């Protein structure tokens, strides 16, 4: 059995940075927490908990001391609350997410109605939206949702960092018909685009595709969707234990990719399980 592993499978720059900062903070503090899970990998969050990093879901739940800001960022209001409490902050917000927040604030200041392409309930999206609090905002997950945007004179378009470029482009085409002026910032992370292109390539060559990553990870879920459109025999799994050996019966080539929040050790465990099942 041949295994095709995506070159960029696993941690992206932002996740590597956040993870390193979190483990270093755990080593240098007797007690520390993160506001929300540092990344969308339950297995890595568990390892951080073993090091003493406690996950809390609200600013009022943060004990006195230090707090880690997750890679997805937090809302501007939460940052103000943290500042008011004079807590020590380890800011692990991904720079690409920070850039999207800055662009949302810029569009808001300059009077644009903001359209954000993304998942409305995702923490990254909630954080970005909070920086456009002086203007009207619309969150759309797909082009058909953009059709409901009312006509406005000036629209400003940005995207959740893990969105596909094609989704952003299609929404932009619709927004052009809704306004006199459209300003677009492509806030999609380069790592996301690269992983999605690799996923398409592998799905076109494999008899079966395994996409590894947290079920709560937006970019991993999107990789699975992309692969499934090309290769219906695509399975999204978090760990090697979830791989069923019968999936591999009659399979000559297995494609493997992983989300940007997936640790390398989880990928290696899946590869070993595939190799064991094929022997």
Phi, psi of 245, rounded to the nearest 5 degrees:
-55, -30
Residue from 119, 124, 198, 238 carrying the catalytic annotation = 124
Retrieve residue 200's tokens.
């398409």
Phi, psi of 56, rounded to the nearest 5 degrees:
-120, 155
Rounded CA separation 37/273 (Å): 28
Q: Tell me whether residue 124 is one of the annotated catalytic residues.
A: yes
Q: Are 247 and 235 in contact (CB under 8 A)?
A: yes
Q: Which residues are 34's β-sheet partners?
A: 55, 68
Helices then strands, counting H and E runs in the chain, come out as: 10, 12
Axis-axis angle for helices 76-84, 123-130 (nearest 10): 80
Q: Which residues are catalytic?
A: 124
């Amino acid at each position: 059995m041949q295994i095709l592993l995506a070159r960029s499978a696993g941690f992206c720059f932002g996740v590597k940075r956040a993870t390193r900062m979190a483990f270093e903070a755990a080593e240098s503090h007797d007690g520390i927490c993160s506001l929300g899970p540092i990344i969308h990998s339950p297995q890595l969050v568990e390892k951080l908990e073993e090091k003493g990093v406690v996950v809390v879901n609200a600013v009022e739940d943060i004990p006195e001391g230090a707090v880690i800001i997750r890679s997805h960022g937090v809302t501007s209001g939460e940052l103000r609350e943290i500042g008011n409490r004079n807590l020590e902050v380890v800011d692990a917000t991904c720079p690409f997410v920070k850039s999207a927040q800055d662009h949302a604030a810029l569009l808001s200041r300059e009077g644009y109605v903001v359209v954000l392409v993304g998942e409305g309930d995702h923490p990254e999206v909630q954080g970005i939206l909070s920086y456009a609090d002086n203007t009207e905002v619309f969150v759309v997950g797909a082009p058909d949702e953009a059709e409901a945007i009312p006509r406005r004179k000036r629209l400003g378009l940005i995207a959740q960092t893990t969105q596909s470029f094609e989704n952003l482009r299609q929404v932009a085409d619709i927004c052009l018909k809704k306004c006199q002026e459209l300003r677009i910032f492509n806030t999609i992370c380069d790592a996301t685009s690269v992983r999605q292109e690799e996923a398409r390539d592998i799905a076109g060559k494999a008899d079966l595709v395994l996409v590894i990553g947290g079920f709560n990870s937006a970019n991993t879920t999107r990789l699975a969707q992309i692969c499934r459109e090309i290769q219906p025999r695509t399975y999204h799994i978090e760990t090697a234990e979830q791989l069923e050996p019968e999936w591999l019966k009659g399979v000559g080539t297995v494609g493997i990719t992983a989300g940007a929040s997936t640790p390398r050790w989880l990928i290696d465990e899946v590869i070993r399980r595939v190799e064991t099942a094929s022997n």
